[in-house]
Amino acid sequence: MTEQLRLMAVHAHPDDESSKGAATMAKYVAEGVEVMVVTCTGGERGSILNPRLQGDRYIEENIHEVRAREMAEAREILGVRQEWLGFVDSGLPEGDPLPPLPEGCFALMDAEEAAEPLVRLIRSFRPQVITTYDENGGYPHPDHIMTHTVSMVAFDAAGDPERYPGTGEPWEPLKLYYNQGFNRPRTLALHNAMLERGMDSPYGDWLRRWDEFQRAGRELTTYVPCAEYFPIRDKALLAHATQIDPDGGWFKVPLEVQQEVWPTEEYELARSRVDTTLPESDLFAGLRDPTADRGSAASGTPGTMAP
Torsional sign, CA 52, 238, 244, 206: negative
Q: 64 labelled as ligand-binding?
A: no
For residues 227 and 264, what is the distance between their CA atoms, to the nearest angstrom? 6
CB atoms within 10 A of CB 195: 13
Burial bucket for residue 303 (CB in 10 Å: 0-12, 13-18, 19+)? buried
For residues 72 and 45, what is the distance between their CA atoms, to the nearest angstrom? 18
Q: 144 labelled as ligand-binding?
A: yes
Phi, then psi, of 88 in degrees rounded to 5? -95, 130
Q: Which residues contact 148 (CB under 8 A, 6 or more apart)?
A: 132, 133, 134, 135, 136, 137, 178
Strand 305-306 versus strand 276-277 pairing type? parallel
Q: Rounded to a whole number, what is the distance in angstroms from the first to the last CA of the chain?
A: 23
Q: Which residues contact 243 (CB under 8 A, 6 or more apart)?
A: 15, 43, 46, 48, 49, 50, 67, 70
Q: 13 labelled as ligand-binding?
A: yes
Which stretches within 31-134 are classed as H helix? 57-61, 63-78, 111-114, 116-125
Feature table: binding site for Zn(2+)? 13, 16, 144
Binding residues: 13, 16, 144
